[in-house]
Amino acid sequence: MASKQREKHPWLKIKINTNDNYRGIKKMLKARKLHTVCEEARCPNIHECWGARKTATFMILGDICTRSCKFCAVKTGLPTELDLQEPENVAESVKEMGLHHAVITSVARDDLKDGGAQIFADTIKAIRRLSPITTVEVLPSDLMGDINSLQLLMDARPDILNHNIETVRRLSDSVRAKAKYVR
């Protein structure tokens, strides 16, 4: 006996905006070989952000994470070589999109001595050079708790330093094996 499918509540439905804004952002990112957490983590709000708001959260340091957190959809494994043009490409995209506020996050790069702090710093500086009134928010990994790496990033003077903790202390070890809650 087939069960009757129930109608979903309106708040569970999203509008799929594959309009000119969405297509333009997708084309620009592809041309500059950039990644966004929107795509890589399969964010359900991508159509609203790209299509309606014309914004995106840039994900630097490639698209392969060195960690394998149980909650995340980003690819994991051995990362490829760094794209040293990435900071400039992000800055050019921020300028082209006319962003007043740029959000930069990254994959974890535990294979790099500084965890990617220099690329973060270079990205902040490039955005400041091309879009001086744009505020910059960064969401780096925990940089393996290295204070010198954090200082390198902070010397670039982001407007906002943010960090996703993703879970409560009690569950942290089971879903984020390489990250430490207190760090």
Torsion, CA 149, CA 181, CA 139, CA 69, rounded to 10: 110
How many Cβ atoms sit within 10 Å of the Cβ of residue 55? 19
Tally of helices (H runs) and strands (E runs) in the chain: 7, 7
- Under a CB-based contact definition with an 8 Å cutoff, are residues 84 and 126 in contact? no
Q: What are phi and psi of 135, to 5 degrees?
A: -80, 150
Residues of the chain with pLDDT under 70: 1-5, 11-15, 17, 177
Residue range 69-107, pLDDT digits in tens: 777 778 888 988 899 999 999 999 999 999 999 999 999
- Under a CB-based contact definition with an 8 Å cutoff, are residues 111 and 145 in contact? no
Task: Give the pLDDT score at 139.
Answer: 94
Distance CA 126, CA 120 (A): 10
